[in-house]
Amino acid sequence: MDKEFAYIVDASSTRGLTAQLKDYNLTEDIATNSLIVVEGAKRKYLGLVAEIFHSSGSDKASELAKQLAKEGESKKIAETTIKTYSNLGKFSTSFLIIPLAQTNQSSVEEVDTIPVHESRIYLPKEEDIENFYGKMDNKTSWGIGYTKHAIKELDLKVKIPINVELITRGSFGIFGKSGTGKTHLGNILASLIILTNRFHDQDKKTKLLIFDMHSEYGLKVKDMHGNDYADGVGLLFKNDFKVYTPDSILAREFGLEEFTIDPKELTMEDIEILKENLNLSDAFIDYLGSYRRIINQIFEKDSVLRDEIYKKDHTWILYLLGFFENREDFEKRKAYLEGKIEEEIQKLGAGAVQSFRSGKVRLNQLRRYEFLNPNKKDCVKEIVEELFKGERSIIISFGRYGDDARVYTLIAHLLSKKIWQRAISDIMEGKQLKYKLIIFLEEAHKFLSGELYYKTAFGNIARELRKRGIVLCIIDQRPSQIHEDVLAMLWNYFIFTLTSEKDIEACTRGLKFQNLFIPVISNLKRKEALVYGEAIRLPAILNIIDYKEFTKEIKDYYEKSLLKLDIPGY
């Protein structure tokens, strides 16, 4: 449609633009969350259709419409009457436009003017999209989704470029309700970061650490019915990832690295982070330091058990987790040792023994996890070494533990703590970090809520390491539960549909015309996302590319590029 289909009837620098359709028959074809171009007297404006509404224009027109309906007038007479009145500006369809940008001669700039009355409105052409958003080069700028045009039947599939290099420079967020497409987009962005690493010169390559709750990054991405749909990024780029899993069955079935933790490495901080998941009492956490001291002293002084295993500082955690159970030397002295321990704990005060007993029972629940094993290697150290010095990125696919909050919390916490400690140690020694690192963190509010932000390693990373190139990809359904300081640090937002006004408000604070975006976000369809930030020139609603279509394109590009570069081993 080259001709104008609407015109401006009202405009405000704070409330946006109001337009009216020229042809009332287009009423059911106009679509929300779509792009339009306004042709002003001196400049063009790019806008987003935020809301559509009817206007009767006069009481007389409204009464006539009601009367025609009441009297059962023929459809033809009713349509003729409405058309006549619509031509007179009475019955009409109007829509609210959020202005996104304006032209200034040959350049594009932020909106600070309004178009004149009766300015004509067109569908954007491909050259308009390129003028406002730029072109893809498949090096740093990639298309992750298509525009949505205002007239449904004339929809044109034009991709809008995202600058992947700018995504890697700061933390970013992917927000939306369950089933809206967050994981598909996460895989797309992770894939593009890998491609940018391969085929674009940068000061530092970017590593990824992906906490993959439902194994859709390390293995197969699912469709909305839960069926395997396409390869996740870990399968797409096998040579670029090491995929670990705490699920030994999954490891054997798919040939993944088995993720294990040496419980001797656990600290009091690690136990405290599990306080809510294990329902540990405040008293138990308060007394934990004293419990640790007493247990270690009792075992070290015991003349029978004084050997290399029992003398070390990790005795307390092995005892609390129940790892001495079934050891013959311990079982013979169990009653005596427990009596001595409780005797000393009794001196701490009233209730100390009871909190000890209940806390020990709850901590014993961790012993059933096969990946927590004092006789196996500690993969946390291995993974951190790979991220800081190795060649490959890391995915932790949780397999059957994907919905187990204890497992997810413990593993994510341990890795983030060691990353934080390693980065600070290297920085204090004057070393340059070899890589940039992006941590994909699902259910981010479990670590970055207002209550936990200053207590977790993820909070430390968000505050202290972003300037050193270690940043977060925050993935969550409830952005309002994430500390506002974290949201303020995000460079880019990818927002799928949300319905809570608190959630919408939390992730749109950086937008001009913030209030106008509330209906936009709540009306997004599945796989549609509002994208804004440093990596895209202007905010845009994108229909995210079908993931299977994306993987086909990306495989073809990857293979051709490898052949062209003649990289050994590929």
399: left (phi over 0), alpha (psi -120 to 50) or beta: left
Provide mean pLDDT across the span 335-340.
91
* Predicted pLDDT of residue 365: 94
305-309, 409-413, 470-474, 553-557: the lowest-pLDDT one: 305-309
Above 60 in pLDDT, residue 68? no
Name, in order, each residue with C-beta under 8 angstroms of 167's C-beta and a sequence gap of 6 or more. Answer: 189, 193, 491, 492, 535
Helices (H), 227-327: 233-236, 248-254, 268-273, 275-278, 282-301, 308-311, 315-321
Is the pTM higher than 0.85? The answer reads yes
Read off the tokens for 545: 């590319």
Q: Where are the alpha helices (DSSP H) in 304-404?
A: 308-311, 315-321, 328-331, 334-346, 352-363, 379-389
pLDDT of residue 75: 54
Q: Are 258 and 271 in contact (CB under 8 A)?
A: no
Residue 59 token pair: 């009481």
Q: Rounded to an integer, what distance in angstroms lies between the CA atom of residue 187 and that of residue 194? A: 11
DSSP 372: B
* Beta-sheet pairing, 6-12 with 92-104: unpaired
Render pLDDT for 96-141 as a digit per residue (tens, 0 to 9).
Answer: 999 999 999 889 999 999 999 999 999 999 999 999 999 998 888 9
449's enclosing H/E stretch is none
φ, ψ (nearest 5 deg) of residue 154: -110, 20
User: What value does the mean pLDDT of the chain take?
Assistant: 89
With b for 16 or more beta-carbon neighbours within 10 A and e for fewer, the 506-515 pattern comes to: bbbeebebee
Average pLDDT over residues 140-163: 85
Q: According to the model, what pLDDT value does residue 569 have?
A: 40
**pLDDT 10s digits, 172-201:** 999 999 999 999 999 999 999 999 888 777
What's the pLDDT at 385?
97
